[in-house]
Structure 1
Amino acid sequence: MEEQIYQFDKGLPGFEEYRKFALLDMGEEPFSYLQSIDDMNVSFMLVNPFVFYPDYEFELSDPEAAELGIDDQVSVRNMVTIQEPLEQSTINLLAPLVLNPVKRTAKQIVLHQSSYQTRHLLLNSSLSIHRKEK
């Protein structure tokens, strides 16, 4: 499990006291969990944003890249809020999690002066849900 643990030197906004998190595969790509090592009651559902928003992009500043020790390998995940009905679930595109899979460092970046918001529909109009009827 050590290879799944990421160090957030400044924690996450609102959860600054938690610095170590495990990135756990749910077995349902593109979803995963970010689980606090310090408090098992603190976890977040994450998603690979490019699956739902292929044109999603942002610029990582040089100081942020240096802080994370990023040379060339980087992973991006975004927090998801599950709603009922499922079609109302949202993804936070304004504050992506940037992860260095080599050095196991991570940070949530807030994109200033961006058109992205904290609540974009996870299932945008170009995607559809296929449910099995019982």
Structure 2
Amino acid sequence: MLLNTKHFGQIEIDEKGIIDFPEGLPGFEDVKKFVLLSNTGDNYMFQWLQSVDKPDLTFVVIDPKYIKEDYEVEVPDEEIEELELDEKSDTTILSIVVVPEDIAQMTANLKAPIIINNINKKGKQIVLDCKDYNIKHYIMQELNQRGG
């Protein structure tokens, strides 16, 4: 399937890779279909969650373990049921990144990760009931503190 995107131009996507967000994402409830695009350059840790429904909408995302190695998510039971997760599920956990003009101030939302069931291609952004993570976690500050 061909997709005309704002940031990547025309790209070919595999329809089997389309992730369904039945509720959309907060603030974008009407946008339900996305694909995950990987980076092949130097910034290997960043990926893009590209909307299929609205090709001008793309989110920069990152595996939160790149930022916080001990990052753990306790997915509430209702979300487990909704995403049809079980002990055999293959999941991807991502955090949305905000990239301001001053890249040193780049943040990741560790408080509200995106959970994707890679088997049935269902996704959802959930808000964790946890005080350990922030909506604005400074990526560069974290990497500099640990020498990465």
TM-score in terms of structure 2 length: 0.81
Structure 1 CA distance for aligned equivalents of residues 79 and 147 of structure 2:
33
2:113 is aligned to: 96
Matching of residue 54 in structure 1 with residue 69 in structure 2: yes
Which residues of structure 1 form unaligned runs of 5+? 129-134
Gaps spanning 5+ residues in structure 2: where?
A: 1-13
- What residue number does 2:99 align with? 82
User: 1:22 is paired with a residue of what secondary structure?
Assistant: strand
2:38 paired with 1:18? no
The two structures, once aligned, show a CA RMSD in angstroms of 1.3
Aligned-pair distance for 1:113?
4.1
Equivalent positions of 1:1-134 (< 5 A) are 1-27=14-40, 28-71=43-86, 72-123=89-140, 124=142, 125-128=145-148
After TM superposition, which residue ranges in structure 1, 4 or more long, deviate above 3 angstroms? none
Q: Secondary structure at 1:106's aligned position in 2?
A: strand
Query: How far apart, in 2, do the equivalents of 1:60 and 1:19 lie?
Result: 21
Report the number of matched residues. Answer: 128
1:34–1:43 Cα contact (<8 Å) kept? yes
Aligned 8 A contact 1:91 1:120 in 2: yes
